[in-house]
Structure 1
């Protein structure tokens, strides 16, 4: 089961809103909107994606990683390593 299962509807709603924002940016480019205005919207989409990613990461840590730690052993180390790699990918972007 995914760690975000209890908040799946919220995550999907946020992603659909982001999808709409991206379509809006595409329209802006098609309509030759001023560059800075397009860049402002791209920045907003990036922030929304980061926020969604942090929410998913938080759910993963509180559910999947916590359960693995309780069980202990190699599975716990693997889940912590997996989470660390995910965090590293997020902070590189």
Structure 2
């Protein structure tokens, strides 16, 4: 498995985990579970999504800054990448 394939699989696994956790949160709200339990699970979903985002940025950083888009320019410059990264925080 290549590094790109492994990174993609790791991201997909994290997103699927977050999807399952979110389904659990929805079920908890529907069942009127204790708010502390709901918030705890919601925080877990948020962390899972953050980790997936960080993994995407970390694994694709070099490509985003060097690989040209259809017009021949890099996909992102340093400032755009920094802004994207900070939006996850």
- Map 1:1-40 to 2 at 5 A: 5-6=4-5, 7-40=7-40
> TM-score of the superposition, structure 2-length normalised?
0.76
Q: CA deviation at 1:11?
A: 1.3
- Runs of 4+ in structure 1 deviating by more than 4 angstroms, as ranges, are none
Distance 1:9 1:84 in 2: 24
Q: Identify the structure with the greater helix proportion.
A: 1
Q: CA deviation at 1:88?
A: 2.8
Please give the secondary structure, in 2, of the residue aligned with 1:41.
Answer: helix
| CA-based RMSD | 2.3
Q: 1:84 aligns with which of 75, 82, 85?
A: 82
Q: Which residue of 2 aligns with 1:63?
A: 63
Please give the secondary structure, in 1, of the residue aligned with 2:88.
Answer: helix
